[in-house]
Amino acid sequence: MELIEGIIIKTQKYKEDSKIIHLITKNGLVCALGRGCLKIKSKNFYILQEITKIAIDLHVKSNSFNIIKSTKLLDNYSTIKLDSKKLETVLEILEITNVFSEHITDYITFYIFLNDILDKIKNSINTNLYKLIFKIKMLYLLGIAPEFSSCINCGKKNNLIGFDFESGGMKCEECFDIKKMLKYDIFVNFKTLYLTKLYDIKDEINIDNFDECDNFVDSYYEKYLGYNIKTSNIFKKINNTASRS
Ligand SMILES: [Zn+2]
């Protein structure tokens, strides 16, 4: 029996007392039925929740839902769930994960990355930094990596002048159009966060113009993925509704 390790990114109520669980694993997205897990007495009541790392034994069915036979709790991320700022950040990360979960090109890398980002957020006071890093590094996993090393237009590696937002890459002296260039300091942050290994990033890293950089990355998602992070943010919508009433 081989247990499947995964992080729960979404759950949906199913029938009277069951849930459909969506997990990210090293082999991709797995959906499975947690039978009876909404019964208070069920051992899985607290385990089969969003933002939980588990190992499961699965009864694979060809013509119906896979059924969860047994579960083992690996991490319930209680430090995240008990801190509203961390929780909000992680829910936003999971929302992006849900939207793009079927378009990820390399699930092994993604799973390790998501796991590491959650570990960073557990121990960080600068949660927004890790959300920004998540969005930036996801570009690679979604197959729309920015081109930093050569001119996106002609391929030359010399005399690169700046980053062209419209083309998603650097442009050389001959190809560039000053009006379309990304502001230099935003570019430096973007490139640094894209290229620095997550392991080497510490809370103390200094990001000038953080909000501007964040806005730039959101507009990158909108242009290249047709996805508006700000308007589709469920958590903010809930917060707004709550503060109005
Ligand atoms: Zn060029």
pLDDT tens, position by position, 156-196: 999 999 999 989 999 999 999 888 888 888 999 999 999 99
Ligand 1 centroid from CA 163, angstroms:
11
Ligand 1 centroid from CA 180, angstroms:
14
Ligand 1 centroid from CA 178, angstroms:
13
Ligand 1 centroid from CA 203, angstroms:
36
| Domain interval for residue 20 | 4-76
Ligand 1 centroid from CA 216, angstroms:
23
* Closest C-alpha to 227, from 158, 151, 124, 139: 139
Q: Do 68 and 91 have their domain in common? A: no
Ligand 1 centroid from CA 62, angstroms:
52
Ligand 1 centroid from CA 74, angstroms:
50
pLDDT (0 to 100) of residue 189: 92
| DSSP annotation of 211 | H
pLDDT (0 to 100) of residue 235: 58
The sign of the torsion formed by the CA atoms of 205, 208, 210, 213 equals: negative
- Angle (CA) 132 138 141, round 5°: 170
- Angle (CA) 103 107 108, round 5°: 165
Q: Do 95 and 129 have their domain in common? A: yes
184 lies in some domain: yes
66 lies in some domain: yes
Q: Do 20 and 89 have their domain in common? A: no
For 213-237, give one letter per residue: b (16+ CB within 10 A) or e. Answer: bbebbbebbeeebeeebeeebeeee
Give the count of domains, the chain: 2
pLDDT (0 to 100) of residue 245: 46
Ligand 1 centroid from CA 159, angstroms:
9
Cα 122 to Cα 219: distance, rounded to the nearest angstrom = 28
pLDDT (0 to 100) of residue 236: 60
The CATH number of the domain holding residue 40 is 2.40.50.140
| DSSP annotation of 182 | P
> Which of 57, 76, 95 is the last residue in one of the domains?
76
Collect the ranges in the chain with pLDDT lower than 50: 245
Q: Do 192 and 106 have their domain in common? A: yes
